Amino acid sequence: MAKEKSEREAKLLYNRENGYDIIDAEEKQRCEDYCRNYMRFIDLARTEREAVSLGIELAKKAGFVPFEPGMALSPGTKIYSDNRGKALMLAVIGQKPLSEGSVIAAAHVDSPRLDLKPVPMYEDGELCYFKTHYYGGIKKYQWLTIPLELHGVVALQDGTVKDIRIGSEPGEPVFQITDLLPHLNKEQRKKTAAEFVPGESLNLLIGSKPDPEDTKDRVKLAILTLLNEKYGIVEEDFLSAELSATPAFPVREVGLDRSLIGGYGHDDRVCAYAELAAIMETEKPQKTAVCILADKEEIGSEGVSGMKSRAFERFMGALCDAQGVKREDCFANSICISADVCNAFDPNYPEVSEKRNAAKVNYGFALAKFTGHGGKSGSNDASAELIAKLRSLFAENGVVWQMAELGKVDQGGGGTVAVYMAERDIDTIDAGVPVLSMHAPYETVGKFDCYMTYKGIKAAYAAR
């Protein structure tokens, strides 16, 4: 038992506490209920497209309607805008005019994965494969020998788009990238982790049964016949397809105490879901609440559906026009939570983190003042004033939160959409859920932190 703190110690010292020591039984139950819904969400949302369509489904149920420029907007109006099925923006109109700013939360719904190449199919050694090009920052060896699913779309010349989803239902087949047996990996063992799996060797095994026709590439012909029967596609249709191999693991509770959640793509659908859940429960906020689910964060926020896209200006501009407000004035008075995950302190790898500043599992919503690398390079570096404002909001609303730093100084680093929001003259801070095994095919998060991230974003939406 720790000694009771003196009054002076309690007053002067910054004290971090494990979240489970702070919240009561009722709050613990709310945390469990929230996480059950989140688990259902990521189990279904394996790609940005699936996350967006699920987001729209939830939004419609909560009374959100598609935004049309020129429509009447009054306090409490709930709208959404679907950006090409790959990114989503939602808003609840506030009581104050947009000239006084909005409260924005921006997460991303793309995750590291293996995309099929435009000409993916080939046969070798009487086995058939898809060639892949990995998307985002992965440790390639983690993707060998695990079951993989296939998700995405094939767009046909006649304009129809076929949805493909193979491997996620029980009983459906999955795919695999093979690895060398330990008996024969003498040479492989000498290579570094960076080089022993060349990118071009990430080939997905998709079949082995030859076609009865006496021809070259009989296995490939048989697989194409199957695809044609089921989806009406031919090999050339892969040229206009977006198909991704994602881990075929169901989302599960982790640990004997079930306090953690294991799953693919917590980065960053855990924050995307927190935003969605928060905005669904936001009625007539003081300032307009905006929720963004962006695409392409894992490859630099590029492209029309990424956070650099002016689709965001178009949406916010239309809202401002409706109130006769200049978009620039709205941005300058807005705040943005760049809701993205950070690394959790991992006792297996303590050497990369600085204990006093690293985020810990079960210590709550993690705010990162800065990210970047080598002297904060490439970082947004949020202002002291913005953090103070959030401190006060979180204290008022019972949000358990902590500060986070992405690894020790000079250890490496990373970035988020925060810089692109700040570039727009919007005061921005990174904040999200600490993750163990970030960017692995199976990532782990603490339930408590998922729940507090939702509570934190909800508190921000309620800001005056």
Region 113-132 residues binding Mn ion, contact defined as CB under 5 A: none
What backbone torsions phi and psi does residue 95 show, to the nearest 5 degrees? -80, -30
Q: Which stretch binds Mn ion (CB under 5 A): 19-27, 216-224, 262-270, 353-361?
A: 262-270
Q: Distance between CA atoms of 62 and 65, rounded to whole angstroms? A: 9
Least distance (Å) between residue 137 CB and Mn ion: 7
Please answer whether residues 224 and 213 qualify as being in contact, where contact means their C-beta atoms are separated by less than 8 angstroms: no
Nearer to Mn ion, 109 or 227 (CB): 109
Nearer to Mn ion, 267 or 427 (CB): 267
C-alpha dihedral, 47 to 52 to 57 to 63, nearest 10°: 160
Q: Distance between CA atoms of 231 and 163, rounded to whole angstroms? A: 9
What backbone torsions phi and psi does residue 165 show, to the nearest 5 degrees? -150, 100
Least distance (Å) between residue 409 CB and Mn ion: 21
Burial class (CB in 10 A: 0-12, 13-18, 19+), 135: middle
Nearer to Mn ion, 50 or 340 (CB): 340
Radius of gyration of the chain (CA): 24
Nearer to Mn ion, 134 or 231 (CB): 134
**Nearest residue to Mn ion, using CB?**
268
Q: Which stretch binds Mn ion (CB under 5 A): 168-176, 267-275, 384-392, 395-403?
A: 267-275
365-368 and 443-446 strand pairing: unpaired
Least distance (Å) between residue 354 CB and Mn ion: 21
Please say whether the dihedral angle defined by the alpha carbons of residues 436, 442, 444 and 450, taken in this order, is positive or negative: positive
Q: Which stretch binds Mn ion (CB under 5 A): 6-14, 266-274, 318-326, 348-356?
A: 266-274
Nearer to Mn ion, 340 or 427 (CB): 340
Please answer whether residues 221 and 213 qualify as being in contact, where contact means their C-beta atoms are separated by less than 8 angstroms: yes
Q: Which stretch binds Mn ion (CB under 5 A): 199-207, 222-230, 265-273, 384-392?
A: 265-273
Least distance (Å) between residue 75 CB and Mn ion: 32
Residue 268 in the binding site for Mn ion (CB under 5 A): yes
Helices (H) and strands (E) in the chain, counts: 11, 22
Q: Which stretch binds Mn ion (CB under 5 A): 151-159, 261-269, 316-324, 395-403?
A: 261-269
Structure tokens belonging to residue 200: 């071009």
Q: Distance between CA atoms of 243 and 227, rounded to whole angstroms? A: 14
Least distance (Å) between residue 136 CB and Mn ion: 6
Q: Helix, strand, or coil here: 431?
A: strand
Q: Which stretch binds Mn ion (CB under 5 A): 22-30, 212-220, 255-263, 268-276?
A: 268-276
Least distance (Å) between residue 72 CB and Mn ion: 36
Least distance (Å) between residue 266 CB and Mn ion: 9
Region 53-92 residues binding Mn ion, contact defined as CB under 5 A: none
Residue 430 in the binding site for Mn ion (CB under 5 A): no
Nearest to 39 by CA among 445, 455, 320, 336: 445
Nearer to Mn ion, 107 or 322 (CB): 107
Region 311-350 residues binding Mn ion, contact defined as CB under 5 A: 340
Q: How many residues bind Mn ion (CB under 5 A)?
A: 3
Nearer to Mn ion, 77 or 353 (CB): 353
Cis ω before 211 (30° cut-off from 0): no
Nearer to Mn ion, 120 or 415 (CB): 415
Least distance (Å) between residue 81 CB and Mn ion: 22
Nearer to Mn ion, 130 or 312 (CB): 312
Q: Helix, strand, or coil here: 102?
A: strand
Least distance (Å) between residue 414 CB and Mn ion: 7
Q: Which stretch binds Mn ion (CB under 5 A): 6-14, 238-246, 263-271, 419-427?
A: 263-271
Residue 50 in the binding site for Mn ion (CB under 5 A): no
Three-class DSSP labels, 144-212: CCCCEEEEEEEECCCCCEEEEEECCCCCCCCEECCCCCHHHCHHHHHCCCCCCCCHHHCEEEEECCCCC
Residue with token string 């859940």: 277
Least distance (Å) between residue 457 CB and Mn ion: 15
Contacts of 75 (CB under 8 A, 6+ apart): 93, 94, 95, 284
Least distance (Å) between residue 107 CB and Mn ion: 8
Least distance (Å) between residue 134 CB and Mn ion: 13
Nearer to Mn ion, 241 or 440 (CB): 440
Q: Distance between CA atoms of 90 and 450, rounded to whole angstroms? A: 21
Which residue in the set 115, 242, 267, 275 belongs to the binding site for Mn ion (CB under 5 A)? 267
Phi-psi region of 101 (alpha: psi -120 to 50; beta: other; left: phi over 0): left
Nearer to Mn ion, 340 or 449 (CB): 340
- Contact residues for Mn ion (CB under 5 A)? 267-268, 340
